[in-house]
Structure formats: C-alpha cells, structure tokens
Structure 1
Amino acid sequence: MDPGLLAALPEASRRAVLAASVRRRYARGEVVFHEGDLAETVHLVAEGRAAVRRGTPAGDTVILAVVGPGELVGEMAMLSSEARRTTTVVALEPTVTMTIAFGELDRLRRDDAAVDRFLLELLAHRVRRLSDHLLEALHVPVEHRVVRRLDALCRAYDGGTHGPTLLPLTQSEIGELAGASRPVTNRVLRRLEDDGVVELRRGAVAVLDRAALARRARG
C-alpha cells in the first residue's frame, strides 16, 4: 500500500501505525460508517475512493468531499467528548481502509512524538481547507466553483494515463461538492461539453482535456 499521507512520518513511526491497523474491505455503495454512530476508529484509505456526506437541516444529504488513497477519515471524532461520527462515509468503488482504534492511536501519540505532530498537522490542514472552501463559497461565482471542483476531482482520480479521466459522480453530486444547484451544474457541464473539455455520460463525467479544465479553474 502506498502510505500517502503517512509518507511524512519516519519509517519506524510509519511501520508502527500500519502494524496497529486492521485491513477492511468495502463494496461499491457500502457504508463505512454513519453520521451519529459511536466512533472508535479512524480509517486510512488504502485503495479506492469514498464520499464524505452530511445531513442538512432540511433532511437532505450532501457530499462534502471525496477521499482517496492516503487520506484519513473519521479522525475528527477523536476531538469530541461524545466520540460521535459527524459525517457518513460511503464507498464510491471497491475500497480498502486500514482502521486504527482510538486507544491504539492514543498510545502511538504518547509513545511517538512524530505521530502526535503528524495528527496535529493533519487537523491544521483540514481547518485550512475548510477556511478556503468557506472563502470560495462567499466570494467565487458558483459557475467557477463547479469548474474548480471538477479540476480537484481530476487530481483525485488521475490514473496516470493519457486518456480521459472518468469521474464516476452524477451531476447532482458534483453540484453538491461545489455548493451549486443541479440546473447551474448542468449548464456549466453542457458548456464544457460543447467546448470539448468534458463528455457527459450516464452517472459520470469524462474529462477529455485536463489542461483546458485546469486553465479554466485558475481563471
């Protein structure tokens, strides 16, 4: 397994974290954990990708992020005295995670300062990302947010090939990530399709011109 984020740890610390973990497999559409569940573990994504979802006051569910290999999910529950899940995580494809019990993680943090610093840096990164998304939601036009989320998804799904990058998400799900309505998202995607940047498929979007999409995301 490519340790991804764990590459920031010294070799001995990385081996200790992986030795304390348990490998779990999830089928496409299977729930890793539900919002509101009691939390006892964190998950390091080893293979595949999963959607992080949260319920809204209106009773809907929206996607907040897509996580892939090397990313952690479920670590925020460690900061809560009630240790409840704040989101629902669902596998978007066959997914493997390495799970670590909170007790084991606490032991590693006490025994290894590098692990403790790593977790603090990870949480600081999450706070910065949330701040960036809030600033974007307040000041970036919604159409441009859709393009930015597409560009970010391309990086998450990049398979290192020269062909199209397939994003197995519906237009509604892409809109949720951008904080955009489905009609607005459809309008942006249709415009990109007319320009040969993407191709709309059933339940997915294929990005045909990564460079053009990246230029529009920066614009």
Structure 2
Amino acid sequence: MLKRIVNSEVRTCFMNNKGYLCLRDNALFSGLSMEFFRHICWAANKQHMRKGHILFQQGEAVDSVYVIKEGRFKLLRMTEDGNETILQIVGPGEMLGETALFRQDAIQVATAISLEEAKVCSIDRCTFEKVVKKEPDLALEIIRNLNDRLYHVWEQVSEANRQSTQEKILGLMIRLAREQGEACADGSRITIPLTQQEIAALVGASRVMVSQSIKELTAKNYLCREKRHYILKNRCF
C-alpha cells in the first residue's frame, strides 16, 4: 500500500501541475534515475511562501538544500557595521545551500527573502549527500554551477571596482533585463520591483547616490519608471 502511495506521489510530481513542485524541472536533477528520484521526491519538503517571508537567515546552521520552483529571492548579507548588501537575486530553477556539501558545520552566509509569492523544495542535507555520492554526474554538475557562480561574482567585483555609481546601476539594469526582463514598447520591463535602497544594496552605493544616478540615467533616456518597475530603454541593447 505504501509503495503505491509513493509511486502515485512521484507520478503526480512529474505532471505539469502548478500545485506540485517537481525537482526534475531543474537541470541538476534531469539525469537522476527514477529509483533515486523517488526517494528525493518523497523526502522533499514543499513550501509555498508569501512575499517578504524568510527562507533562511544569516548565521543559521545549513541543514537543507533548496531548489526554487517559482518566485524570486534576494540574498541579503548584514555586515558587522550594520549595513545591508544584496549579494544576488535568484529565481526558478536555481539552487541554494549546495555549498554546505563541501563544508563541515556550515552556516548560512546570507538571508534569503522572497520578493514575491514563491514555491520551494527543500531536501535535508543527509538525504542530498547520499544521492550525490551515488550519482557522480550530479556532483560534477554542482561543481560546475558553483564555479560559474564564483566566476560571475569575480567578474562583477572586477567591473565594480572601476565603475562609477551610474555605470554600476546601468550595468545592473542591463543584467536584470536579460535575466528578469519582459519586452515592452519602450524596451525591457524589469519584472522585479526594486526600491532605491535595494538598488543601493546591490551596487554598493548610498541611496542618495543611487537616487541622483537614476535621475541622470532617466534624463539621458536610458531608464524610465512605470509604477513599481523600471524599464530599460531599447537604446541600451
């Protein structure tokens, strides 16, 4: 009876139904055999989160790996002097917490806060480690992803060191338009509603500097504001 229930849960998970969270939608898991995937699907904790809810907090012990099914999160780090820095904005198909596989007694280096309604699958570290040990291809894919993230961060830091605040903001908007944008008449509407304080945290500048830079970019016809969203003009592409 239990086996039939488990198999039914897995079959339902494979269906294209928004009521369920299917880990197989993530490229990391696409190569897993059905047998291993059954165990993951049964063990995964499926969460539906509202905007502004915290998935995990900086300083907490890392006890799970998270896969985002729907929605977006900002990874926020609090510095010793009390300033906030947004490290990254992540969305569907991305994984959080996998770095814990390579460290003992790991803690979260940032806080993950939902920017909108979101659906997340979480897998406890022990279960995930067992799967990784039995699936070498999955381990290699995780290492590749971590390497890509590290290279991406290195590129951002290198560029930021030689850019003005205005250039940083324009670079951020171009990147967000590519990753989170939707086409509109004037260019690309960035679907994430961002406050000036959040932009300041993303580019490492003061809110006053960000406010001034956005005014200048708007005057130069690079940006415009539509209600709670920014539009990156066509001339930037």
1:80-125 Cα offsets, whole Å, 9 max, x none, are 3222111100001001111121111111111111111111111111
Could you tell me which runs of 5 or more consecutive residues in structure 2 were left unpaired when the two chains were aligned: 1-20
Which of the residues 199, 205, 210 maps onto 2:229?
205
Cα distance change on mapping 1:118 and 1:13 into 2, 3 Å: farther
Cα distance change on mapping 1:40 and 1:9 into 2, 3 Å: closer
Q: Report how far residue 198 of structure 1 moved.
A: 2.8
Q: Distance between the aligned counterparts of 2:181 and 2:66, measured in 1? A: 22
Q: Which has the larger radius of gyration?
A: 2
Question: What amino acid is the match of 1:95?
Answer: A
1:7 aligns with 27
Question: What amino acid is the match of 1:136?
Answer: E
Query: 8 Å contact 2:189–2:231 — kept in the other structure?
Result: yes
Q: Report how far residue 4 of structure 1 moved.
A: 9.3
Query: 8 Å contact 1:39–1:84 — kept in the other structure?
Result: yes
Question: What amino acid is the match of 1:22?
Answer: N
Secondary structure of 1:83's aligned partner: coil
Q: What TM-score do the two structures reach when normalised by structure 2?
A: 0.78
Which of the residues 41, 47, 50 maps onto 1:27?
50
1:180 aligns with 205
Cα distance change on mapping 1:25 and 1:10 into 2, 3 Å: closer
Q: Distance between the aligned counterparts of 2:177 and 2:77, measured in 1? A: 23
Q: Distance between the aligned counterparts of 2:171 and 2:23, measured in 1? A: 26
Q: Report how far residue 142 of structure 1 moved.
A: 2.8
1:132-177 Cα offsets, whole Å, 9 max, x none, are 1221222233321111111112223224666733431101111211
Which of the residues 158, 163, 175 maps onto 1:152?
175
2:103 aligns with 80
Secondary structure of 1:164's aligned partner: strand
2:61 aligns with 38
Bigger drift between 100-109 and 89-98 goes to: 100-109
Q: What TM-score do the two structures reach when normalised by structure 1?
A: 0.84
Cα distance change on mapping 1:42 and 1:198 into 2, 3 Å: same
Cα distance change on mapping 1:67 and 1:4 into 2, 3 Å: farther
Bigger drift between 10-19 and 45-54 goes to: 10-19
